[in-house]
């Protein structure tokens, strides 16, 4: 049996329809302060997921 | 676009544009690698001869059909259709500011030679922010926040606790205007720990959403740079304070934030030192400094750092299994609920929704540009006047850089740090390639950890 397991992720294409509220944290604000990354940020718009 | 890699026993396939992730075996891994460049029959035939002892033609055809179904479902080989949206979020929120970094103290009680803020002075004069200036900054934030409810304010420096009374007074003022403005302030304090006492702990635990505590890990590493003006290391003085602080937080957010340099590319030992001290929310950042600075990371350091990132991921898996998990800031990733696509392609927000305020009320695109006179945006009394510079920041997004357009990690870094790019290339829309390499390695580790955890959950 060849294994292909799809992990549950947020559908980024779908998020184009209802995202963009702008409430989420600014990228390096409040934490690292010296590099940019948005991967570790949370979406503030809970109902959109 | 696909990015596939093997790490810690997992074969990971990332469908970059949809954000879908697949954990696959070696056969499917190779099939995906050849899927778009070889005809079906040739690919299956090649895989059958490579894996004759492990699979059959029927199985390979079944897997191929599965990949076709994933592609049809938009979970594999998804095209990038986001470029036209790159400026959308910033255009929609133009003029809206929702976060300020308040430089309440351009002074510091430590004299760390690697400090990007030149010992808190940002290449300028020593200064403390007055309450009146801070209050005006908070009013400025509210006035420009549009419909944003959550406003973020960092108390930063220098060492912000050298102006603690003003910090307390500003928080009290902000809380007092929350009901009438309908806003909610989230405060963060970044401190070197020297002035942490019971009063600070009680205040921060009541008012601060997050605290960032500077500790470089091992005593000898920490004390090498983080010295007072008499030349004495600070580790012995701050560690007990930080331990008390963190214990008293009772689960509220904090990060032990370290910097690694050319002196400790083997920074996993510093992570371990923090764990040994009882801290579990950790961050270690590569130093930001000029390339000719003795503490700058070198090309020779890079493979060491890369290996450390992998070993850190392995350590986290081990500690998960032992029921002793810990957090590494750059490996935090919420696959199910991370940022929407607008956020991912819009750039970091510096100079547009986020600005730094100096002790005398000048506005800069972010804390890392403070002191760079050409980047002064305006002030909190008259607003942004340097629209030429602000427009440059507004135009920063993933698709503004040629190198980013084809990078698999573009939806995780959002185009990178403008300050890092500026310091490395002289342009805010340049590319700090060394930082990119480290970032990509961190993302591979973060994604692998998230996959491993999710698969364990479902097992």
List all residues of chain B from 251 to 270 with a beta carbon under 8 Å from chain A.
255, 257, 259
What CA–CA distance (Å, rounded) separates A39 from B190? 22
B208 part of a folded domain: no
Residue B141 inside a domain? The answer is no
User: Cis ω on the peptide bond leading into residue B103 (within 30° of 0)?
Assistant: no
Domain of residue B67 covers: 2-78
Selected residues 3-22 of chain B with any CB under 8 Å from a CB in chain A:
17-22
- Counted across chains A and B, CB pairs separated by less than 8 A come out at 228
Q: Report chain B's mean pLDDT, rounded to a whole number.
A: 95
Q: Which of B42, B92, B90, B87 is nearest to B64 (CA)?
A: B42
The band of A46, judged by pLDDT with boundaries at 50, 70 and 90, is: low
The whole-number pLDDT of residue B290 equals 82
Q: What is the pLDDT of residues B38-62, one digit of tens each?
A: 999 999 999 999 999 999 999 999 9
What confidence score (pLDDT) does residue B299 get?
96
Collapsing DSSP states into helix, strand and coil, what is residue B12?
Answer: strand
pLDDT at A29 over 80: no
- CB pair distance less than 8 Å for B190 and A33: yes
B200, B158 Cβ separation under 8 angstroms: no
Give the tokens for residue B219. Answer: 């005593």
User: What is the distance between the alpha carbons of residues B376 and B371, in angstroms, rounded to a whole number?
Assistant: 8
Question: Between vectors from CA B368 to CA B91 and to CA B252, what angle results, nearest 5°?
Answer: 85
Average pLDDT over residues B423-434: 91
In a domain, residue B30? The reply is yes
H-helix or E-strand containing B456? helix B433-458
Residue B64: per-residue pLDDT: 98
Q: For residue B108, what pLDDT is reported?
A: 95
| Sequence-separated contacts (24+) of B181-186 with Cβ below 8 Å | B181/B142, B182/B149, B183/B142, B183/B145, B183/B148, B183/B149, B183/B150, B183/B151, B184/B149, B184/B150, B184/B151, B185/B138, B185/B151, B185/B152, B185/B153, B186/A30, B186/B150, B186/B151, B186/B152, B186/B153, B186/B210
A-chain residues near B412 (CB < 8 A)? 37-39
Q: Least CB-CB distance to B353: which of A3, A26, A39?
A: A26
Query: In this predicted structure, what is the pLDDT of residue B214?
Result: 96
Specify the 3-state DSSP secondary structure of B199.
helix
- Is B68 part of any domain? yes
**Better-scored residue on pLDDT, A37 or B43:** B43
- The answer as to whether B169 is a domain residue is no
CA neighbor of B444 nearest in space, from B2, B6, B1: B6
- The answer to the question of residue B56 being in a domain is yes
Chain B hits for A45, Cβ within 8 Å: 340
**DSSP secondary-structure letter at B128?**
B
DSSP B309-361: HHHHHHHHHHHHHTT---EEGGG---TTT---HHHHHS---BTTTEEEE-TT-
pLDDT of residue B34: 98
Rounded-to-integer distance, Cα B132 and Cα B127, Å: 14
B215 touches chain A (CB under 8 A): no
Confidence category of residue A27, pLDDT binned at 50, 70, 90? low
- Report the alpha-carbon distance of residue B345 to residue B414 in Å, rounded: 5
pLDDT at position A49, please? 40
Distance in angstroms (rounded) separating the CA atoms of residues B371 and A25: 24
Question: C-alpha angle with apex B452: B317 to B76, nearest 5 degrees?
Answer: 150
Chain B residues 35-64 within an 8 A CB cutoff of chain A: 55, 59-60, 62-63
Task: Answer whether residue B111 is part of any domain.
Answer: no
Instruction: Give B166-211 pLDDT, tens digit per residue.
Output: 999 999 999 999 999 999 999 999 999 999 999 999 999 999 999 9
* Tokens, residue B43: 């690919």
pLDDT of B393 strictly over 70: yes
| Range among B274-278, B395-399, B413-417 rated most confident | B274-278
Please give the Cα distance from B353 to B99 (Å, whole number): 6
Rounded to two decimals, what is the model's pTM? Answer: 0.94
pLDDT band at B93 (very low <50, low <70, confident <90, very high): confident
pLDDT tens track for B437-446: 999 999 999 9
Interface predicted TM-score (ipTM) of this complex, two decimals: 0.90
- Nearby residues of B266 by Cβ (< 8 Å), 6 or more positions away: B304, B308
Give the up-direction half-sphere exposure of residue B200: CA atoms within 13 A in the CB hemisphere.
Answer: 23
pLDDT at B173: 98
Q: How far is A17 from chain B (nearest CA, A)?
A: 9
In chain B, how many domains are there?
A: 1
- Which residues of B, range 194-213, sit inside 8 Å of A by Cβ? 209-210, 212
**Residues B265-298: pLDDT tens digits?**
999 999 999 999 999 999 999 998 888 889 999 9
Q: Which of B339, B342, B421, B448 to mutate to test the interface with A (most CBs of A within 10 A)?
A: B339
Phi and psi angles of residue B49, each rounded to the nearest 5 degrees, phi first: -75, -30
Which H/E stretch holds residue B15? strand B10-15
User: B37 CB contacts (<8 Å, ≥6 apart)?
Assistant: none
Task: Tell me if B442 sits within 8 A of B329, measured CB to CB.
Answer: no
Q: Residue B88's pLDDT is what?
A: 77
Quick one: pLDDT at residue A30? 61
Q: Does any domain span residue B16?
A: yes
| A49 contacts B411? CB cut-off 8 A | no
Q: Mind telling me how many Å the CA of A44 is from chain B's nearest CA? A: 8
Distance CA B376, CA B379 (A): 8
Please give the biggest Cα pair distance in chain B.
Answer: 76
Specify whether the CB–CB gap between B16 and B408 falls below 8 A: yes
- Given this model, what pLDDT does residue A38 score? 79
**Mean pLDDT in residue range B220-248:** 97
Among candidate residues B347, B380, B310, the one with its CA nearest the CA of residue B103: B380
Taking 50 as the threshold, does the pLDDT of residue A48 lie above it? Answer: no
| pLDDT at residue B450 tops 80 | yes
Which of B277-286, B336-345, B364-373 shows the lowest mean pLDDT across its residues? B336-345
Q: Does the pLDDT of residue B226 top 70, yes or no?
A: yes
At residue A23, the pLDDT reads 82
């Amino acid at each position: 049996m060849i294994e292909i397991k799809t992990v549950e992720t947020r559908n980024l294409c779908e998020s184009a329809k209802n995202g963009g509220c702008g409430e989420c944290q600014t990228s390096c604000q409040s934490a690292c302060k010296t590099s940019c990354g948005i991967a570790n940020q949370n979406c503030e718009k809970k109902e959109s997921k | 676009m696909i990015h596939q890699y093997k790490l810690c026993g997992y074969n990971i396939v990332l469908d970059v544009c949809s954000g879908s992730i697949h954990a696959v075996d070696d056969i499917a891994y190779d099939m995906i690698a050849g899927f778009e460049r070889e005809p079906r029959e040739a690919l299956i035939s090649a895989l059958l001869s490579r894996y004759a002892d492990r699979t059959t033609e029927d199985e390979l055809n079944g897997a191929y059909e599965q990949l076709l179904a994933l592609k049809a479902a938009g979970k594999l080989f998804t095209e990038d259709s986001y470029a036209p949206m790159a400026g959308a979020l910033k255009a929609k929120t133009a003029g809206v500011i929702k976060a300020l970094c308040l430089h309440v103290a351009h002074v510091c009680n430590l004299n760390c030679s690697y400090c990007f803020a030149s010992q808190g002075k940002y290449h300028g004069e020593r200064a403390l922010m007055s309450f009146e200036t801070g209050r005006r900054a908070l009013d400025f934030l509210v006035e420009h926040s549009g419909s944003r409810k959550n406003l973020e304010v960092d108390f930063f420096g220098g060492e912000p606790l050298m102006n603690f009374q003003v910090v307390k007074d500003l928080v009290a003022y902000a809380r007092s205007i929350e009901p009438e403005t309908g806003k909610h302030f989230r405060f963060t304090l970044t401190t070197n720990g020297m002035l942490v006492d019971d009063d600070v702990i009680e205040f921060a635990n009541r008012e601060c959403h997050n605290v960032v505590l500077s500790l470089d890990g091992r005593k000898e590493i920490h004390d090498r740079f983080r010295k007072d003006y008499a030349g004495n290391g600070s580790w012995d003085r701050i560690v007990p304070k930080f331990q008390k602080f963190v214990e008293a937080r009772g689960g509220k957010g904090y990060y032990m934030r370290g910097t690694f340099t050319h002196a400790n590319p083997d920074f996993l030992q510093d992570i371990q030192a923090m764990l040994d001290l009882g801290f579990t929310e950790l961050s270690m950042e590569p130093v930001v400094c000029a390339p000719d600075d003795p503490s700058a990371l070198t090309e020779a350091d890079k493979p060491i750092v890369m290996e450390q990132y992998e070993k850190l991921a392995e350590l986290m898996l081990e500690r998960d299994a032992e029921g002793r998990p810990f957090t590494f800031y750059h490996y935090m990733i919420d696959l199910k609920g991370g940022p929407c696509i607008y956020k991912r392609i819009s750039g970091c927000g510096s100079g547009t929704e986020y600005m730094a305020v100096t002790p005398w009320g000048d506005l800069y695109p972010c804390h890392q540009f403070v002191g760079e006179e050409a980047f002064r945006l305006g002030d909190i009394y008259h607003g942004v006047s340097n629209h030429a510079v602000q427009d440059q920041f507004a135009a920063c997004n993933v698709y503004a850089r040629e190198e980013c357009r084809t990078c698999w990690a573009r939806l995780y870094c959002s185009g990178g740090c403008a300050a890092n790019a500026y310091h490395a290339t002289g342009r805010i829309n340049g590319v700090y390639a060394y930082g990119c390499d480290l970032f990509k390695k961190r993302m591979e580790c973060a994604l692998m950890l998230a996959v491993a955890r999710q698969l364990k959950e479902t097992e």
